[in-house]
Amino acid sequence: FGFKGCQKIRGPQIRNLLEAKDFFLFDCDGVIWHGENAITGAAKVVSSLIRRGKNVVFVTNNCTRPRENYVHKFYRLGFTDVMLEQIFSSSYCSALYLRDVVKVPGQVFVIGCDGLRRELQEAGIPCVEEADDPDATIYDCALAPDVKAVLVGHDDKMTFLKLAKASCYLKDPECLFLATDNDPWHPLSGGRILPGSGSLTAALEVASGRKATVIGKPSRFMFECISSQFRGVDPAQCLMVGDRLETDMLFGSNCGLDTMLTLTGVSQIEEAQEYRNSDQTTNHSLVPDYVVDTIADFLPAFED
């Protein structure tokens, strides 16, 4: 009976919700695009919200690109009014965390793509140079003496040697252990999947016997980054729209935001209903307040 959440909304209910909120947070993959293909109607939704004076930001756990690349990607996919200031990625927020929160007093050892390293560089975070001989072992490598943090993110050139070095650095209890995000995997076309940052973090957690501090969704830190850059953000005025219950809906709940699941991505409505009906109350934070088939369902609300 009266379980809260998972309300499938349409037409006038969507219109009322869009009118009531003034700050929209969109996850990217599965909501705005699938890889290199925009979700049909998404560009129009974004520009209509912006034209109506709504604040729109993008909150992505994809740590593989610096923010400028996202601006280009948005443009390439037909989102012509998205600016750098609207983009909050787990790589950008990791750089802010290292620079402004922990003020890291030494170098950072990075497991991640070049895009992550570029974002850190932009923030002035010194990173250990990576130029390994592919046949080297941990004995062939000098460990840098001033590594004060290990940051793990999705790395398509992950090697055993990187894992070994990171584990050595983490022997020092003063060395911080951070993860850009903890996503387990991502869907690719043709039924394939891409292992996510979380799979690499898990390997390093086992090897080091430590737990990483996660920067990306569902951690609240990304919302703190947004709040510090947009004055007067009121959680009650925000709607978090995402496609994954364990990251996006939990992020919204953790930050006190209303949440909306769109069914164009990873999670199905049945999974949300299972969490809702679960006896374990911690599962209730994964339940969206609202559900739509696609954000294109917003479009009729913009017609007068």
Binder of ligand PLP out of 155, 183, 205, 258 (CB under 6 A)? 183
Q: Is 201 in the site for ligand PLP (CB under 6 A)?
A: no
For the bound state, the minimum distance from the C-beta of residue 160 to ligand PLP, rounded and expressed in Å, comes to 20
- Give the C-alpha separation, 82 to 46, whole Å: 9
Q: Fill in the DSSP letter of residue 65.
A: S
Q: Is 27 in the site for ligand PLP (CB under 6 A)?
A: yes
CA angle 118, 215, 60 (to 5 degrees): 70
Active site residue 248: no
Q: Which is nearer to Ca ion, 27 or 181 (by Cβ)?
A: 27
Binder of ligand PLP out of 165, 176, 186, 200 (CB under 6 A)? 186
Q: Is 29 in the site for ligand PLP (CB under 6 A)?
A: yes
Q: Is 64 in the site for ligand PLP (CB under 6 A)?
A: yes
Q: What is the crossing angle of helices 197-208 and 160-169, to 10°?
A: 50
Q: Which is nearer to Ca ion, 155 or 243 (by Cβ)?
A: 243
Q: Which is nearer to ligand PLP, 5 or 115 (by Cβ)?
A: 115
DSSP alpha helix (H) spans, the chain: 11-20, 42-51, 67-76, 90-96, 114-122, 160-169, 197-208, 221-229, 250-254, 269-277
User: To 10 degrees, the CA torsion angle through 33, 39, 43, 49?
Assistant: -90
Active site residue 27: yes
Q: Which is nearer to ligand PLP, 29 or 119 (by Cβ)?
A: 29
Number of H helices and E strands in the chain, helices first, is: 10, 15
What residues line the site for ligand PLP (CB under 6 A)?
Answer: 27-30, 60-62, 64, 154, 183, 186, 194, 196
